[in-house]
Chains A and B, each alone.
Chain A
Amino acid sequence: MPSLGADMDAGTLIEWLVAPGDEVKRGDIVAVVETQKGAIDVEIYESGTVVELVVPVDTEVPVGTVLAYLRIPGEVGPVVPTEEERVATSAAESPNAEVPAQVPASTALVAGPPGTRVAPRARKLAAKLGVDLSTVEGTGPGGSVIGEDVERAGPASPAAPASGMRGAIAAAMARSKREIPHYYLAHTIDLEPALVWLETTNAPRPVTERLLPIALLVRAVALALSKYPEFSGWYKDGRFVPSPGVHIGLAVSLRRGGLVNPALHDADRGTLGELMVKIRDVTKRARSGGLRASEFADASTTVTSLGDQGVDGVFGVIHPPQVAIVGFGAISVRPWVVGGRVMPRRLVQLSLAADHRVSDGHRGGRFAHEITNLLSQPETL
Chain B
Amino acid sequence: MTHVDVKAAILNILDEVAPDAGLDELDETADLREELDIDSMDFLNIVVGIHEALAVEIPEKDYPELVSLQNLVGYVEQKLAAK
* A positions within 8 Å CB-CB of B: 125, 128, 199, 202-203, 206-208, 210, 212, 214, 254-256, 279-280, 283-284, 287-289, 307-308
Contacts and interface: CB of A to CB of B under 8 A. Distances in A.
A207 B19 contact: no
| Chain A residues touching B, majority SS | helix
B41 A279 contact: yes
Contact of B58 (A128, A202, A207, A288): A207
Given A208-B51, A287-B18, A288-B16, A280 B45 contact: yes
A206 B41 contact: no
A255 B60 contact: no
Interface in B19-76: 19-21, 36-37, 39-42, 44-45, 47-48, 51-52, 57-60
Contact of B20 (A256, A283, A284): A256
B60 A210 contact: yes
B39 A284 contact: no
A286 to B, nearest CB: 10
Contacts of B40: 212, 214, 307-308
A288 B19 contact: yes
13 contacts: A128-B20, A199-B60, A202-B60, A206-B51, A208-B51, A208-B52, A214-B40, A254-B20, A255-B18, A255-B21, A283-B45, A287-B19, A288-B19
A280 B44 contact: yes
Given A255-B37, A280-B44, A207 B17 contact: no
A128 B19 CA distance: 13
A307 to B, nearest CB: 8
Contacts of A287: 17-20, 42
B34 to A, nearest CB: 12
Contact of A206 (B19, B37, B39, B57): B57
Contacts of A283: 41-42, 45
Contact of A125 (B20, B44, B57): B20
Given A207-B47, A210-B44, A284 B17 contact: yes
A199 B47 CA distance: 17
B51 A308 contact: no
